[in-house]
Amino acid sequence: MYHTCELGDGMKRKKTVQLIMGSTRAGRICPLVTEWIATIGRNHTDFAYEIVDLADWPLPMDDEPGIPALGHYSQPHTRAWSEKVKLSDAVIFVTPQYNWGYPAVLKNAIDHLYAEWRDKPTVIVTYGGHGGGKCAEQLRQVAGAVKMRVVETMPGIRLPEAVIRQGAPFDPHTDFAEHVASIQDALNEMAGHVNAANAH
Ligand SMILES: Cc1cc2nc3c(=O)[nH]c(=O)nc-3n(C[C@H](O)[C@H](O)[C@H](O)COP(=O)(O)O)c2cc1C
């Protein structure tokens, strides 16, 4: 009940959580990790989960003359990206750590907009050899700058050396099982923010 909202004809629609993938790299593992997190979400909450692949949202770095905070977008792809993000009731960033930061494509996607992110309940899930804590901290700061409501729990998935170095196959359902509890904790915090927004 809390996770739905009224449609005009009295029907309910589920609140939508967008999982935004931080990696567009060739050979990336991000889709596998993100699908697994979406499955945890669908089993644990009553939200609709939609995966957003930034590879499907090519946003040039240099074609918007205005400051996004003013909200005057000149390019159709920026306006489309704005409409897309507006459709979400919450966001989960699923991102690898690259050289202690997060991928440029994710920063660019965030920086294209401004007001659309405001007050959005947000979960940050990172992965890397040590869980990606350094990039999680950077992303948390940037999300704070655009006034997202980032939940306290930031799950950090530790990748086995063989996955990073040799591209060894893995199954998140078994190999990342130890991280399920922290992901569920983060989803609970996110649901709390969504429900609080719903109550107003
Ligand atoms: C450019 C680049 C930089 C990386 N830097 C780090 C790093 O700082 N820390 C870490 O734990 N892993 C690092 N890695 C390893 C990634 O965690 C690993 O390759 C992971 O699979 C990347 O996610 P993706 O396959 O979804 O792109 C790096 C990988 C790349 C491609």
| pLDDT (tens digit per residue) in 149-180 | 999 999 999 999 999 999 999 999 999 999 99
Residue 108 structural domain: 14-199
The atom number, within ligand 1, closest to the CA of 25 reads 27
Q: Domain tally for the chain?
A: 1
Confirm or reject: Cβ of 105 under 6 Å from ligand 1.
Answer: no
Distance 97 CA to ligand 1 centre (A): 5
- Its pTM stands at 0.95
Parallel/antiparallel/unpaired status of strands 16-21 and 90-96: parallel
How far is the centre of ligand 1, averaged over its atoms, from the C-alpha of 189 (Å)?
27
Task: Report the pLDDT value the prediction gives residue 1, as an integer from 0 to 100.
Answer: 38
pLDDT score at 179: 98
Task: Please indicate, yes or no, if residue 40 is contained in any of the structural domains.
Answer: yes
What's the 172 CA to ligand 1 centre distance in angstroms?
17
pLDDT at residue 13, rounded to an integer: 85
Query: Which residues of the chain fall short of a pLDDT of 70?
Result: 1-11
Asked if the structure places residue 7 within a domain, the reply is no
Asked if residue 30 has its Cβ within 6 Å of ligand 1, the reply is yes
In a domain, 1, yes or no: no
Q: How far apart are CA 192 and CA 173, in angstroms?
A: 26
CATH code of the domain covering residue 52: 3.40.50.360
Task: Tell me the one-letter amino acid at 177.
Answer: A
What pLDDT, on the 0 to 100 scale, is given for residue 9? 58
Residues in Cβ contact with 112 at an 8 Å cutoff, skipping those fewer than 6 apart: 59, 64, 68, 78, 81, 82
Kindly state whether residue 122 falls inside one of the protein's structural domains. yes
- Identify whether 3 is part of a domain: no
Q: What is the DSSP string of 15-42?
A: -EEEEEE----TT-SHHHHHHHHHHHHH
Q: Give me the pLDDT at residue 5, please.
A: 53
Q: CB neighbours (10 Å) of residue 26?
A: 6
Backbone angles phi, psi at 48, to 5 degrees: -90, 130
